[in-house]
């Protein structure tokens, strides 16, 4: 059975809509509403044969305290945490629960979230249109997932046994403290897998409660975010926001000679299943190599090239040569994945003085669009499968690009 934990503070209409969608679209569950001092108290909708319990706190104890309360009262072996401004789609939560055979923590994609879970789908204005758009995404991305270091806690599923093993959510800051990120890092440290189900979509109402508390002067939103970031940085490193995708493939096992996968500019973020390449011997890469001087691989010999937080460190006059070298070694159809600060949105591209080239979405036209390539005689040619703009920190955005070598 799934135990669905829904903390709430006021936002009565949003909470009612959230719970109604859960009741209509989920099977084999109980619902635990944790009312964190709402005025008036939350009155959930009629739940029929579904057990729905309300835990009432007379004051707002904060999100981490509320979810810990709910989990401790849960009867199910699967826990789903759900913000009260989330509207679930048919089968979404059951699908997440089913993926816990492969992952220990799993989250969906959505319209509003920091990081890799934010996607764009067909627009919708009502529940019917939302469900139709979510169904189309589910069909298009059926079975697709992405392994990551953490998911955002607007909607996440895990087994109660994991909570019992690694401990409760961090209650040290009010009203929240990046507690889901901390829990995920603790799970990863214990050897567990975390994933994003790219075929499961829910609607997220843009942190409705948090923003309402800011508008009512119950808290300073920016100050809370600064405290949360400092708290997490102390525990997990100042670049923790950048780590969601960095170690997404740590469990890949490659038989000798089966495939060649390169991780360019690895730094200290060494990836299992890859040949980790850096020009600094002190980071202990598998291969010390200056990519500006070329890669020691034959034409059409490499299956995949990974370049995360790499290209922005290439001098702007040499980026074309580096992309061409990547294209040269890739097999026809070989996969190229890039993660660069977005110079068009946010401050991430310019706040680091070591960034010496700058990338926007249109930069990739010169390596994929025939007219743009012909204009300059570009050798490298990629079929761009996807370009996603992801929020990787406060006012920091990255472009996540996946392409295939056309030859």
3-state secondary structure the chain: CEEEEEEECCCHHHHHHHHHHHHHHCCCEEEEEEEECCCCCCCCCCCCCCEEEEEEECCCCCHHHHHHHHHHHCCCCEEEEECCCEECCCCHHHHHHHHHHCCCEEEEEECCCCECCECCCCCCCCHHHHHHHHHHHHHHCCCCEEEECCCCCCEEEEEHHHHHHHCCCCCCCCCCCCHHHHHHHHHHHCCCCEEEEEEEEEEECCCHHHHHHHHCCCCCHHHHHHHHHHHHHHHHCCCHHHHCCCCCCCCCCCCCCCCCEEEECCCCCCCCCCEEEECCHHHCCCEECCHHHCCCCCCCCEEEEEEECCHHHCCHHHHHHHHHHHHHHEEEEEEEEEEEEEEEEECHHHHCCCCCCCECHHHHHHHCCHHHHHHHCCCCCEEEEEEEEEEEECCEEEEEEEEEECC
Assess contact for 18 and 84: CB atoms under 8 A: yes
Per-residue pLDDT, 247: 42
Domains observed in the chain: 2-243 (3.90.550.10), 261-405 (3.40.50.150)
Identify the pLDDT of residue 64.
93
Q: What is the pLDDT of residue 320?
A: 95
Q: 227-255: buried (b, 16+ CB within 10 Å) or exposed (e) per residue?
A: bbbebbeeebeeebbbbbbbbbbbeeeee
Q: What is the pLDDT along the chain (407 residues), one digit of tens a residue?
A: 999 999 999 889 999 999 999 999 999 999 999 999 999 999 999 999 999 999 999 999 989 999 999 999 999 999 999 999 999 999 999 999 999 999 999 999 999 888 889 888 889 999 999 999 999 999 999 989 888 999 999 999 999 999 999 999 998 876 776 899 999 999 988 989 999 999 999 999 876 665 566 576 666 767 777 887 888 888 888 778 777 874 433 333 445 567 899 999 998 888 888 899 998 887 888 888 889 989 989 899 999 999 999 999 999 999 999 999 999 999 999 999 999 999 998 888 888 888 999 999 999 999 999 999 999 999 999 999 999 998 877 778 999 999 999 99
Which two structure tokens, joined as six digits, stand for 374? 């012909």
| pLDDT for the residue 367 | 97
pLDDT at res. 253:
43
Backbone angles phi, psi at 241, to 5 degrees: -60, -30
Q: For residue 96, what pLDDT is reported?
A: 97
**How high is the pLDDT of residue 250?**
37
């Amino acid at each position: 059975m799934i135990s669905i934990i829904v903390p709430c503070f006021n936002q009565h209409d949003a909470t009612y809509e959230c719970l109604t969608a859960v009741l209509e679209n989920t099977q084999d569950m109980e619902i635990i509403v944790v009312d964190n001092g709402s005025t008036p108290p939350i009155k959930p909708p009629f739940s029929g044969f579904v057990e729905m319990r309300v835990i009432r706190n007379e004051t707002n104890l904060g999100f981490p305290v509320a979810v810990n309360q709910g989990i401790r009262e849960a009867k199910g072996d699967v826990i789903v945490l759900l913000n009260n401004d989330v509207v679930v789609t048919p089968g979404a939560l059951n699908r997440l629960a089913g993926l816990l055979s492969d992952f220990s923590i799993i989250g969906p994609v959505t319209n509003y979230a920091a990081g890799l879970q934010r996607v764009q789908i067909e627009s919708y204005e009502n529940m019917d249109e939302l469900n139709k758009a979510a169904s189309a995404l589910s069909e298009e991305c059926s079975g697709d997932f992405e392994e990551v270091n953490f998911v955002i806690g607007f909607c996440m599923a895990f087994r109660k046994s994991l909570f019992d093993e690694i401990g409760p959510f961090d209650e040290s800051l009010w009203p929240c403290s990046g507690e889901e990120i901390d829990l995920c890092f603790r799970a990863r440290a214990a050897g567990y897998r975390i994933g994003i189900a790219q075929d499961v979509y829910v609607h997220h109402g843009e942190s409705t409660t948090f923003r309402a508390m800011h508008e009512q002067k119950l808290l300073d939103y920016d100050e809370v975010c600064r405290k949360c970031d400092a708290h997490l940085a102390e525990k997990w490193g100042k670049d923790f926001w950048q780590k969601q995708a960095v170690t997404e493939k740590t469990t890949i096992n490659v038989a000798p000679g089966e495939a060649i996968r390169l991780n360019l500019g690895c730094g200290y973020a060494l990836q299992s299943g890859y040949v980790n390449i850096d020009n600094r011997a002190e980071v202990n890469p598998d291969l010390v190599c200056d990519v500006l001087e070329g890669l020691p691989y034959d034409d059409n010999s490499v299956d995949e090239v990974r370049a995360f937080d790499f290209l922005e460190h290439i001098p702007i006059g040499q980026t074309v040569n580096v992309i061409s070298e990547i294209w040269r070694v890739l097999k026809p159809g070989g996969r190229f994945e890039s993660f660069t600060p977005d110079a068009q949105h946010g401050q991430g591209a310019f706040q680091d003085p070591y960034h010496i080239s700058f990338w926007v979405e249109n930069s990739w036209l010169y390596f994929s669009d025939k007219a743009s390539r012909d204009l300059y005689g570009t050798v490298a040619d990629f079929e761009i499968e996807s370009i996603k703009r992801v929020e990787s920190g406060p006012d920091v955005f990255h472009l996540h690009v996946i392409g295939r070598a056309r030859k």
